[in-house]
Amino acid sequence: MSMGHTLLGLLESGPRHGYELKRAFDEKFGHDRPAHYGQIYATMSRLFRNGLVAIDGVEPGGGPERKRYAITEAGITDVGQWLGRPEKPQPYLRPTLYTKVVLALITGRSAAGLLDTQRTEHLRMMRMLTGRERGGGFAPQLIRDHALFHMEADLRWLELTAARLDRLAKEVGA
């Protein structure tokens, strides 16, 4: 996810302070990974430098002055272009798993055991995500569905790899 483009999109509805942007981000997108204030403010500084946002006002606060940011025409154009570009499909969702299987074979460890352990962990996480579906709104459900579909694909890969371990072992020279 592009933090900058996400914040720009949030600003299209009107100017906001950094803490308001963080709250909006966390409510809409940060279900399992809320943004850090430092990340928000660093991103806003970069967007300001690049002319994609402007300071709409500065208000005194209990600490540092609070800046209110507004999206510029260049920012609106930039986020529009970003939204119009398709995301590149990621062909290797879990390359670490492949690396671990090959290294287990090379080092004489149990690749089958590694795959079983990973399968158990995937199933545990899928049960946890499925249990969350009882609460929340439709948007969080879509995010959970996305995660579950990816985990299902990983599970299919784990099963296929387990069925092909002998062939892989010969190919990697274990």
Amino acid at site 60: P
Residue range 92-137, pLDDT digits in tens:
544 677 878 887 887 777 889 989 999 999 898 888 888 765 666 7
Q: Among candidates 158, 149, 156, which has minimal Cα distance to 126?
A: 149
pLDDT average, residue stretch 137-156:
86
Beta-carbon contacts of 137 under 8 Å, excluding residues fewer than 6 positions away, are: none
Q: What pairing do the DSSP bridges indicate for beta strands 53-59 and 66-71?
A: antiparallel
CA 34 to chain centre: 11
pLDDT at residue 87, rounded to an integer? 65
Q: How far apart, in whole angstroms, are the C-alpha atoms of residue 29 and residue 6?
A: 9
Please name the helix (run of DSSP H) or strand (run of DSSP E) that holds residue 60, with its range, or none. Answer: none
Residue range 41-70, pLDDT digits in tens: 999 999 999 999 999 988 877 777 789 999
Residues in the chain: 174
Report whether pLDDT(149) > 80: yes
